[in-house]
Amino acid sequence: MAVTDSHLKDTLTPALPGVGRVLVMAGKFSQKLAEEAHRKAQTAGRPYIAELIESGAVSASELAHTLAHAFSAPLIDVDALDPQRLPTDLIDVKLSLKYRLLALSKRGGRLIVVTADPSDHEAAEKLKFVSQSGVEWVIGEYDKLARLVEKHGKTVADSMDSIVGKDFEFDEAALGSDIPAAEADDPQAEVDDAPVVKFLHKVLIDAINLGASDLHFEPYEHNYRVRFRVDGELQEIVSPPVAIKDKLASRIKVISRLDIAEKRIPQDGRMKLKVGPERVIDFRVSTLPTLFGEKIVIRILDPSSARMGIDALGYEPEEKARLMHAIERPYGMILVTGPTGSGKTVSLYTCLNLLNKPGVNIATAEDPSEINLPGVNQVNVNEKAGLTFAVALRAFLRQDPDIIMVGEIRDLETADIAIKAAQTGHLVLSTLHTNDAPTTLTRMRNMGIAPFNIASSVILITAQRLARRLCAKCKQPADIPHEALIDAGFAESAVDGSWTPYRPVGCNACNNGYKGRVGIYEVMPITEELQRIILADGSALEIAEQARSEGVRSLREAGLHKVQLGVTSLEEVLAVTNQ
């Protein structure tokens, strides 16, 4: 018959631990001996079970079998457990070490846990609170379990230390001051989370040093990975223990001023990192609830990218001349087009940086503002609050602006206000999501904008892509057949042997043969001939043909020119200008 605590309470000293009560009831030794062992354990500050076993009063094996029978719990051979396969995300390592527990699995609302003392109500209550689940005990021998718990806890801690490293210092104040008072006032909480804090800081610094544009923190059922987007490609950097996913998400949300308790809906925030005496980098944070936790993507917004200068973006001399001529005009609309991640924002801010002078009033509306540029009045669009692009534009026109930048023209209302601003003495810069420059005009026509308004307001359209730049240290000449070059788009006259294509190789200084990215541009000024085609409601094909006759390179032609210059490879150009 199973022994219960309620039955034991009627006959034994209330102060005696549950294990002692079971052993006395089972006739293993007397109540006096059990109470004496209890006093010794309290005096020495050690677990009661450890005192019983080390004093020789009962063996670990005998104790485990007795408890399994008394509590009607299954018995497990602890030596048969593989520490590498034990889950690390079900209970905290500190809780496991304190109570000598090992979580095996979670089924439904029940947590399966190995213990040597199923009578420990304190441990059971802690587990229920932490896991929000019921606890189902499995009995293991105390000495074997203690060794495995120590080994398992050390493995988890060592894996974290190897990721974090030991020589890392970070300016906590640079991340933001809106840390909740409960966390700030609890030094123990800060100490407990120190590995996670150090890990996050190191990952951010590593991402900056590698020139990454985005960081992805991705939780899965049995693993957790961190990936960086470097030169447009995602690379797995590290796979930390799954157990840190919730603490890491909470840490990121704290310093990004997000709601820690809200895990059901996506959230967006920002944070700052000081990486030098005069260099502060902004991060845009986005959370997304997934099946196994919150996926977090952090976009690195380096203000210095807007100050690189137009030459660093990869414009050819004739393309740069067309763009400079357009931004020096007092009014009109300049559009930058391309897919997400093609560098449109950096191009716009490079132009704004050139125009940013004391005598000029510049206002921008973005969703959200990615680069902080002193001297420019930047507004974050807030759809929920009613601050749309159109509302912001109307407000700008009452603020005596010279130059207006709209993050994106998404609808007819925004386009209509932007065009009117361009027609009434303002220089307007904006973006559209189209494949190339000629189709931008037909896209505006399809939005419902009259051909006359397009022809009289748009002065230049730039379509762009970003291609990976070949590593100067390891690139090698590529043997590409004549026919393949012709099929790619080269003219017969261009394939004359006067230049050499190169291919990526890979070395310690680069990423699979590439290092950095370069822009590929189709810069199309709106000339009088193009205005006539627009007014006649001409097609994108007619606009493209006229632009070619005026010397405008298509994206593919601009990319092939970069191949001729040895800047990038043919396969990279074919990939980013897939036509």
The 10s digit of each residue's pLDDT in 227-272 is: 999 888 888 888 888 888 998 999 999 988 899 999 999 998 888 8
Pair of tokens at residue 205:
């610094």
Residue 499: both structure tokens together: 């230049």
Distance set, CA 507 to CA 238, 442, 471, 516 (Å): 21, 45, 8, 14
pLDDT band for position 476 (50/70/90)?
A: very high
| Residues with Cβ within 8 Å of residue 129, at least 6 apart in sequence | none
What is the reported pLDDT for 216?
96
**Is the pTM above the cut of 0.75?**
no
- By percentage, how much of the chain surpasses pLDDT 70? 87
- Per DSSP, the residues of 254-312 read HHTT--SS--SS-EEEEEEEE-SSS-EEEEEEEEEEETTEEEEEEEEE-GGGGGS-GGG
DSSP 174: G
SS3 of residue 138 by DSSP: strand
* 406-465 tens-digit pLDDT: 988 988 999 999 999 999 999 999 998 888 999 999 899 999 999 999 999 999 999 999
More confident of the two residues 173 and 146: 146
Handedness of CA 324, 325, 326, 332 (dihedral sign): positive
419-423-429 Cα angle (round to 5): 55
Residue 543 near residue 438, CB atoms below 8 Å:
yes
pLDDT band at 152 (very low <50, low <70, confident <90, very high): low
Question: In the prediction, which pLDDT does 158 show?
Answer: 54
Secondary-structure percent of the chain, ordered helix, strand, coil, rounded to 5: 40, 20, 35
Range in 12-26, 217-231, 274-288, 563-577 the model is least confident about: 12-26
At 274 the pLDDT is 76
Q: How many CB atoms lie within 10 A of CB 574?
A: 18
Asked if the model's pLDDT at residue 25 lies above 70, the reply is yes
* Per-residue pLDDT at 399: 92
Banded model confidence at residue 167, pLDDT cuts 50, 70, 90: very low
**Contact assessment for residue 323 and residue 427, using Cβ atoms and an 8 Å cutoff:** no
pLDDT in tens, 42-96: 777 778 888 888 777 788 888 888 888 888 889 888 888 877 777 766 777 777 8
Nearest-CA neighbor of 292 among 127, 85, 102, 90? 90
Task: Report the run of H or E that residue 107 belongs to, with start and end.
Answer: strand 102-107
pLDDT at 194 over 90: no
Strands 267-274 and 280-290: antiparallel
| pLDDT number for residue 7 | 46
Q: How confident is the model at residue 558 (pLDDT cuts 50, 70, 90)?
A: very high
Identify the pLDDT of residue 187.
40
Amino acid of residue 176: G
Residue 66 half-sphere exposure, CB side, CA atoms within 13 Å?
22
At 507, list the tokens: 């070395």
For 272-304, how does the pLDDT look when each residue is reduced to its tens digit (9 = 90+)?
887 766 677 888 899 999 999 999 999 988 766
pLDDT for 163:
45
Q: Where are the alpha helices (DSSP H) in 328-447?
A: 344-355, 389-397, 412-423, 437-446
- More confident call, 228 vs 152: 228
Which residue bears the tokens 């890392």?
Answer: 168
Count of all residues that appear for the chain in the document: 579
Using the structure block, give the residue that is written with the tokens 């051909």.
451
For residue 151, what are the β-bridge partners? none
Please say if the pLDDT value at position 165 is more than 50: no
Confidence of residue 308 (pLDDT cuts 50, 70, 90): low
Q: What is the pLDDT of residue 530?
A: 94
Predicted local confidence at residue 463, as pLDDT = 94
> Phi-psi region for residue 576, left (φ > 0), alpha (ψ -120 to 50) or beta?
alpha
- Rounded Cα gap, residues 306 and 302, in angstroms: 8
Provide the pLDDT for residue 157. Answer: 52
Question: In angstroms, rounded to a whole number, what is the distance separating the alpha carbons of residues 91 and 115?
Answer: 13
Q: What is the overall mean pLDDT for the chain?
A: 83
Least confident of 213-222, 270-279, 418-427, 494-503: 270-279
The pLDDT of residue 191 is above 50: no
- Residue 156, pLDDT above cutoff 80: no
Evaluate if residue 315 carries a pLDDT over 60: yes
DSSP states along 391-406: HHHHHHHTS--SEEEE
Instruction: Give the count of beta carbons closer than 10 Å to the beta carbon of residue 43.
Output: 9
pLDDT at 96: 80
H-only helix segments in 15-115: 18-25, 31-44, 48-54, 60-70, 93-99
Mean pLDDT confidence for 183-205: 64
pLDDT tens for residues 506-549?
887 788 889 888 999 999 999 999 999 999 999 999 999 999 99
Segment (H or E) for 119: none
Does residue 428 contact residue 458 with C-beta atoms inside 8 Å? no
Position 153 scores a pLDDT of 62
